[in-house]
A and B are shown apart, each in its own frame.
Chain A
Amino acid sequence: MPILSASGLYKAYDDEMVVNGVSFSAEPGELLCLLGPSGCGKTTLLRMLAGLDEPDAGTISFDGRSIDGLAPQQRGFGLMFQDLALFPHMDVFGNIAFGLRMQKLPASQVQTRVHELLDLVEMSGYAHRKVHELSGGERQRVALARSLAPEPKLLMLDEPLGSLDRALRESLQSQVRRILKEVGVTSIYVTHDRDEAFTMGDRLIFMNHGDIIQTGTPEEAVANPADGFVARTLGFKNVLTGLLVSDGETLKIECAVGILSVPKPPGLETSEGAELTLLIDEKGITMSASSGTATGDSLQGVITERVFRGDWYELRVQVGNGELYCHVLADAVLNLAQTNQNVVLNIDPNFIRFLGGGG
């Protein structure tokens, strides 16, 4: 039984559709990750859930009751803003106590609860610091404590760690997830970063151009990206679109990198002339030095970029009018993988998957 469900939400600003018929739901205690590029409508969706913006159409219900038209302060939700919006005229204590004081808790209880929260975010001893004296990471934790203090029934976090450096972000990610799970609050976490989504989310919601494209656990999404957009968001780099030029046991698909032959997977309904989206796993691409011309299904290309990734190199190879990325172990690459080097790529058809939807 979902605790939060939104159905058919629409919102337009100045004739531009920002949220375009979005429906989803969240289970109690679940941590949903809303994933998508800037401007895809994530923030607007959160603002509608919080009651800060009114949807043009659609309904939201929480705990079995419709909350449409309810003012933000009556919803009992929490929202952690991207810019945190800490009150600059109050100290850390004042910020965290704000929501509790709004509930008219007695001072002694406010005191206890604030210190509980300071302990939870590992900031005991900071109660009387001024906001402008805090570092970025400290501010994030105060903002988190402030949103958790009134025990919101639903907590929304809008790219809360966006402005931090990588190391701090990673340590805070696990910390935030631990805290949210400890508290057991149903949460929606907005991010555009795949790794952050993997760390945080029980379930991921992919949004693009105001639409939800796919919903599922991280594992489900990686196993079956709904379309090229989801695949790219998940970090897959070899996403190609092509035209089916010959149907049959073996499909021949014309893409920017050339013509690929792929055994027809069972259940794929298609016909000649159809546009298909392919996902090629880097693991399925082997590379060898160019000796003579490419034969059969192998492709000839030029290395245009080489990025060191620790144990391995990521190589970008220009093939025909397109590009493919492949991975090569660091010690095998010494002679071969120089930029401008001509190489031959062989693609194992078993590592090619077909995605639904467009590129």
Chain B
Amino acid sequence: MTAGRLLLLIPLAYLAIFFLYPLFSILERSLGGESGYGLEPFRVLLNDPYYLGRIWFTIWQAVVSTLLTLVVGLPAAFLFARYEFPGKSLLKAVSTLPFVMPTIVVAMGFTALFGSQGIVNSALMTVFSLDDPPVRITNTLTIIFMAHAFYNYAIIVRIVSALWSNLDPKLEHSAKVLGAGPIRTFYHVTLPLLLPAIISASLLAFAFSFTSFGVVLILGGPQFSTLEVSIYELTAKLFRLPLAGALAVIQLAFTYLFLLLYSRFQEQSVVPVNLMPQEATSRRAKSWRDKVFVLGMVLVLLTMLSPLIALVVRWITLDGGFGTAQMANLFSDERGSYFHLSPVTIIWNSLRFALMTVVISLVIGTIISYFISNSKRHWRTIADALVMLPLGVSAVTLGFGYIIALGRPPLDIRGSWIILVIAHSLVAYPFVIRSLMPVLKGMNPNLKEAAALLGATPARVFLLVELPLIAPALLVGATFAFAISMGEFGASLILVRSEFTTMPVAIFRFLGLPGEANLGMALGMSCLLMAVVALGFVAIERFRYKGVGGF
């Protein structure tokens, strides 16, 4: 067991060097040291009604966004967990796409769809011969909520359907036999059993809405500002670093508070259940009611994807028609080259960073989850909340921290691509933990004991019994890690050297350049990003059916 404990040093060292050290460096720079502000910035912030208002707004918009995300996500999770239908794995892959899209691309998609000259308004104006665009949701709260739900529903779908698809349908059947209708069955049987996964997923959705930056800044317009946006404004526009640092600490404190509440609640909600293999729980839609449900949900999911579809449409119709010139531009080394990088190199950069992020996050996430789920109860809650803390730090803050802390001796890795992969994995590994934890805690403890009694050492118990049982959850974690790395923008923009440009950074750069051609390049690269990520998801899904994740 002592040899096993040594493993714990890996994630501890990783967190200390790549999370705490940069974080403290940035705080020291803004609050401590020569400037000597100390606690003064906190006093200023907490006495200012404007910033108190920001805190309150950040919290409630995150709550509303999370609820909306659940409303969309749960039925979709049910669809993927319980039904077999043609094109299922493709639809599942495609519906996770929104999660990876850089904010700037999503904002483009929403504008292309709902803007005053967008597809929806143009269509409505033509059909009903209106003079003014009827749908006016740009720069409103509505579009912020919609965008958050759009971004995060994939989290709910992935995490919840992973557990749901392993739940024995006989439990639901017995409730029905005992006289419960579908709603009461869901409320009294399915919901309590799914709760660990639902809470896990909601927490992630909440954390993303809580630290939302791009969506609020670009789609919400000037009158809405979350803490993250305020930090950005204080840093980049008002140059009041001490206040920004203090606000970052406040945001982090709130995040930790939510995480602590969450892990308390999570602790109470886990019930060990016997998990069933996926193929034993899902079926083809046979009755007409099932068919209507499946068809309806597929349509809803396609509607969710409409901002992305709008982007593709816009790319194709740009400049009066889908010219071969656009495609040629994208793949030509000369005209389309960006800092002498061919698009192929950019795609390859994104892909290899994503693969390395997957490996690092899986290793770190698995070790942490394993130790936390096996530790004593009272410090389990605290530890669980602590290791999720990177979720509460924005990529932008993290990026600045890395520049300060990791660009000087003793550790100077600023010029290397490693720093980028590490920044990505720090955002990604909490997802691995959240995917794994419900399964690890819900596992029948007798299985491990049975293996030990049959002569398996702890290492072999893990490899032969636990690992295969958590494999589906690991795949979910891998999917997220891949997606996060592919779509990560903030930290990449700050940290990346031009030869390591990733796809989202390239899209951003193209958008910053004038002219239709560059807009076309940006749109083309966005569509390529979608295609590459969708292919990646399908590949991961395939991997599951090849055996490792057969259960």
Select A89's contact among B449, B455, B457, B469, beta carbons within 8 Å. B469
User: Is A98 interfacial (CB 8 A cutoff)?
Assistant: yes
CB distance B451 to A88 under 8 Å?
Answer: no
Select A85's contact among B444, B550, B551, beta carbons within 8 Å. B444
Q: How far is the CA of A50 from the CA of B464 in the complex (A)?
A: 21
Known: A81-B446, A88-B275, A89-B551. A73 touches B453 (CB 8 A): yes
- Interface set, chain A 47-90, CB cutoff 8 A to B: 50, 52, 71-73, 75-79, 81, 83, 85, 87-89
User: Is A1 interfacial (CB 8 A cutoff)?
Assistant: no
CB contacts (< 8 Å) of B469 on chain A: these are: 88-89
CB distance B457 to A83 under 8 Å?
Answer: no
The 8 A CB mask of B450-491 against A (1 = contact, 0 = none) is: 111111110010001100110000000000000000000000
Known: A72-B449, A85-B449. A99 touches B551 (CB 8 A): no
Known: A89-B551, A132-B276. A98 touches B464 (CB 8 A): yes
CB contacts (< 8 Å) of A147 on chain B: these are: 453-454
Select A102's contact among B276, B277, B446, B455, beta carbons within 8 Å. B455
- Interface set, chain B 118-172, CB cutoff 8 A to A: none
Number of A-B residue pairs with CB-CB distance less than 8 Å in the complex they form: 72
Of chain A, the residue at the smallest CB distance from B456 is: A102
Known: A88-B276, A89-B469. A52 touches B449 (CB 8 A): yes
User: Is A130 interfacial (CB 8 A cutoff)?
Assistant: yes
Of chain B, the residue at the smallest CB distance from A89 is: B551
- Interface set, chain B 259-293, CB cutoff 8 A to A: 274-277, 280
CB distance B451 to A98 under 8 Å?
Answer: yes
CB distance B455 to A76 under 8 Å?
Answer: yes
Closest-CB distance, A239 to chain B (whole angstroms): 36
- Interface set, chain B 416-454, CB cutoff 8 A to A: 444, 446-447, 449-454
User: Is A321 interfacial (CB 8 A cutoff)?
Assistant: no
CB contacts (< 8 Å) of A88 on chain B: these are: 274-277, 469, 551
CB contacts (< 8 Å) of A50 on chain B: these are: 449, 453
CB distance A103 to B444 under 8 Å?
Answer: no
CB distance A72 to B446 under 8 Å?
Answer: no
Closest-CB distance, A359 to chain B (whole angstroms): 36
CB contacts (< 8 Å) of A115 on chain B: these are: none
- Interface set, chain A 279-297, CB cutoff 8 A to B: none
Q: How far is the CA of A85 from the CA of B454 in the complex (A)?
A: 12
- Interface set, chain A 112-157, CB cutoff 8 A to B: 130, 132, 146-147, 149-150
Most buried by B among A72, A77, A79: A72
Select B452's contact among A72, A132, A146, beta carbons within 8 Å. A72
CB distance B456 to A85 under 8 Å?
Answer: no
CB contacts (< 8 Å) of A78 on chain B: these are: 453-454
CB distance A102 to B449 under 8 Å?
Answer: no
Closest-CB distance, A85 to chain B (whole angstroms): 4
Known: A85-B447, A85-B449, A88-B275. A132 touches B455 (CB 8 A): no
Closest-CB distance, A140 to chain B (whole angstroms): 14
CB distance A85 to B460 under 8 Å?
Answer: no
Select A79's contact among B276, B447, B450, B460, beta carbons within 8 Å. B450
CB contacts (< 8 Å) of B451 on chain A: these are: 87, 98
Q: How far is the CA of A77 from the CA of B275 in the complex (A)?
A: 27
CB contacts (< 8 Å) of B446 on chain A: these are: 81, 83, 85
Select B277's contact among A81, A132, A146, A150, beta carbons within 8 Å. A132
Select B454's contact among A52, A89, A150, beta carbons within 8 Å. A150
Interface size of A by Cβ–Cβ distance < 8 Å? 26
Of chain A, the residue at the smallest CB distance from B450 is: A85
CB contacts (< 8 Å) of A81 on chain B: these are: 446, 449-450
Of chain B, the residue at the smallest CB distance from A96 is: B454
Of chain A, the residue at the smallest CB distance from B276 is: A132
Closest-CB distance, B344 to chain A (whole angstroms): 40
Most buried by A among B280, B447, B460: B447
Q: How far is the CA of A149 from the CA of B453 in the complex (A)?
A: 12
Select B455's contact among A52, A83, A150, beta carbons within 8 Å. A150
Q: How far is the CA of A90 from the CA of B454 in the complex (A)?
A: 15
The 8 A CB mask of A313-344 against B (1 = contact, 0 = none) is: 00000000000000000000000000000000
Known: A81-B446, A83-B446, A89-B469. A72 touches B277 (CB 8 A): no
Of chain A, the residue at the smallest CB distance from B452 is: A72
Select A103's contact among B280, B455, B465, B551, beta carbons within 8 Å. B455
Q: How far is the CA of A132 from the CA of B551 in the complex (A)?
A: 11
Of chain A, the residue at the smallest CB distance from B469 is: A89
Q: How far is the CA of A209 from the CA of B105 in the complex (A)?
A: 68
Known: A85-B447, A98-B464. A73 touches B551 (CB 8 A): no
Of chain A, the residue at the smallest CB distance from B464 is: A98
Closest-CB distance, B273 to chain A (whole angstroms): 11
Q: How far is the CA of A81 from the CA of B550 in the complex (A)?
A: 25
Of chain A, the residue at the smallest CB distance from B457 is: A73
CB distance B450 to A102 under 8 Å?
Answer: no
CB contacts (< 8 Å) of A73 on chain B: these are: 452-457
CB contacts (< 8 Å) of B444 on chain A: these are: 83, 85
CB contacts (< 8 Å) of B275 on chain A: these are: 88
CB contacts (< 8 Å) of B468 on chain A: these are: 89
Q: How far is the CA of A89 from the CA of B274 in the complex (A)?
A: 12
CB contacts (< 8 Å) of A83 on chain B: these are: 274, 444, 446
CB contacts (< 8 Å) of A102 on chain B: these are: 454-456, 460
Q: How far is the CA of A102 from the CA of B447 in the complex (A)?
A: 15
CB contacts (< 8 Å) of A75 on chain B: these are: 453
Known: A81-B446, A83-B444, A89-B550. A98 touches B277 (CB 8 A): no
CB distance B452 to A71 under 8 Å?
Answer: yes
Known: A88-B277, A98-B464, A130-B277. A146 touches B454 (CB 8 A): yes
CB contacts (< 8 Å) of A103 on chain B: these are: 455
CB contacts (< 8 Å) of B465 on chain A: these are: 87
Closest-CB distance, B547 to chain A (whole angstroms): 11
CB contacts (< 8 Å) of A150 on chain B: these are: 454-455
Q: How far is the CA of A88 from the CA of B444 in the complex (A)?
A: 11
Closest-CB distance, A263 to chain B (whole angstroms): 54
Of chain B, the residue at the smallest CB distance from A103 is: B455
CB contacts (< 8 Å) of A85 on chain B: these are: 444, 446-447, 449-450
Select A99's contact among B280, B449, B454, B550, beta carbons within 8 Å. B454
CB contacts (< 8 Å) of A87 on chain B: these are: 447, 450-451, 465
CB distance A99 to B276 under 8 Å?
Answer: no
Most buried by B among A52, A79, A83, A85: A85
Most buried by B among A75, A81, A102: A102
CB distance B453 to A72 under 8 Å?
Answer: yes
The 8 A CB mask of A147-188 against B (1 = contact, 0 = none) is: 101100000000000000000000000000000000000000
Of chain B, the residue at the smallest CB distance from A79 is: B453
Of chain B, the residue at the smallest CB distance from A146 is: B454
- Interface set, chain A 244-294, CB cutoff 8 A to B: none
Taking A102-B460, A132-B276, A150-B455 as given, write out 13 further A-B residue pairs in contact, using a Cβ cutoff of 8 Å, ordered by the A residue number. Answer: A52-B453, A72-B453, A75-B453, A78-B454, A79-B449, A79-B450, A83-B446, A85-B444, A85-B446, A85-B450, A88-B274, A88-B275, A132-B277
Using a CB–CB cutoff of 8 Å, the interface residues on chain B facing chain A are 274-277, 280, 444, 446-447, 449-457, 460, 464-465, 468-469, 550-551
Using a CB–CB cutoff of 8 Å, the interface residues on chain A facing chain B are 50, 52, 71-73, 75-79, 81, 83, 85, 87-89, 98-99, 102-103, 130, 132, 146-147, 149-150
- Considering the complex of A and B, which 3 residue pairs feature the smallest CB-CB distances, nearest first? A99-B454, A102-B455, A85-B446
List 8 contacting pairs A-B, 8 Å CB cutoff, sorted by A: A78-B453, A81-B449, A85-B450, A88-B277, A88-B551, A89-B277, A102-B455, A130-B280
